[in-house]
């Protein structure tokens, strides 16, 4: 003889009700999590759309910006020296970095008269800036006179030379 209060599956009605409550609770938690994740996914897709837009713009910028060229100073005047230099250049991973001589202890470069001097900077044996530039600004000092030379790699003179000493 079997228990009249038992469910066919062997569970009491209270057990079945408890199972049902647990199942409903699990469903509600899963549902809430699903909805939350969907909202998060929507936000992520929005961010993705914006990022892709930025990427597109970055690509346009990259196409608009000139390419790297080695920065050289053609000294058309007497002996002088580069007292300040800042140069921006493309890195291999497509970002733009800069070199600032003031951050390297106000490093200077000598400019012998009538010579062309490539600009680069090494720290011991390690070359930290190879002279590549898409935009540069250089201050050349002769005596008490200081000349600011700025430009882009697109308008460097032939051979990649920024003219100093020309007035």
Partner 1 sequence: MQVRDAFLTIESTTEGRNALRLTALGGVVRAGAAQILPACPELSTVMQADGPVVVVEGFAGDSLAALLQTGPLRSAQAIRLLRSMATAVDELHRMGFVHGRLRPSSFVVDGLQNSQPRVRLVDWAIQWQPPTPGQIQQLSHALAPELIFGEAALAASDQFAFGALAHQLLTGHLPFGGESTSETLLATLSGHWSLGEAGELPVDALSRVFSHEPAQRFNSCTAFVDAMDREIAEATAPLAAPAAAAYSGGYSAPVAAPVEAAEPGWWARNGLLVAGLFAALAFALGIASWFVQRQIADVQASVGESMKAAKWTLADNGRMKVCNNSQHQVLIRDLAVGYWDSARKLTVFESSRAQHGGWTVEPESEQNLSSLAGPWDGSVVFYYLHVEQQGKEYLLSGTWQEVPKGCLAIASQ
Q: Interface residues for partner 1 in 2-21 (CB under 8 A)?
A: 2-9, 11-14, 16-17, 19-20
Q: Which is nearer to partner 1, 37 or 112 (CB)?
A: 37
- Token representation of residue 13: 């009605």
10 Å CB burial of residue 131 (0-12, 13-18, 19+) is: buried
Name every residue whose Cβ is closer than 8 Å to that of residue 160 and which is 6 or more positions away in sequence. Answer: 69, 70, 71, 72, 153
Q: Decide: is 143 part of the binding site for partner 1 (CB under 8 A).
A: no
Q: Decide: is 128 part of the binding site for partner 1 (CB under 8 A).
A: no
Q: Decide: is 139 part of the binding site for partner 1 (CB under 8 A).
A: yes
Contacts to partner 1 from residues 18-47, by CB under 8 A: 19-20, 22-24, 26-27, 29-31, 33-34, 37-38, 40-41, 44-45, 47
Contacts to partner 1 from residues 51-80, by CB under 8 A: 51-52, 54-55, 57-61, 64-66
Contacts to partner 1 from residues 88-127, by CB under 8 A: 88, 94-96, 98, 100-103, 106
Q: Decide: is 84 part of the binding site for partner 1 (CB under 8 A).
A: yes
Binding residue (CB under 8 A) for partner 1 from 79, 142, 152, 163:
152
Tell me if 132 sits within 8 A of 67, measured CB to CB. no
Binding residue (CB under 8 A) for partner 1 from 67, 146, 157, 159:
146
Q: Decide: is 166 part of the binding site for partner 1 (CB under 8 A).
A: no
């Amino acid at each position: 003889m079997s228990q009249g209060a038992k469910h066919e599956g062997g569970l009491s009605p209270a057990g079945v009700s408890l199972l049902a409550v647990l199942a409903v609770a699990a469903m509600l938690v899963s549902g809430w999590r699903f909805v939350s994740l969907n909202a998060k996914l929507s936000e992520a897709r929005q961010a993705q759309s914006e990022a892709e837009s930025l990427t597109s713009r970055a690509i346009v910028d990259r196409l608009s910006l000139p390419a790297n060229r080695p920065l050289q100073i053609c000294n058309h005047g007497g002996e002088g020296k580069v007292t300040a230099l800042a140069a921006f250049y493309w890195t291999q991973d497509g970002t733009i970095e800069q070199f600032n001589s003031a951050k390297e202890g106000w490093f200077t470069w000598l400019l012998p008269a009538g010579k062309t001097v490539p600009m680069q900077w090494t720290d011991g044996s390690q070359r930290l800036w190879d002279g590549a530039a898409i935009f540069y600004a250089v201050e050349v000092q002769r005596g008490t006179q200081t000349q600011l030379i700025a430009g882009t790699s697109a308008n460097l003179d032939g051979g990649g030379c920024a003219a100093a000493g020309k007035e």
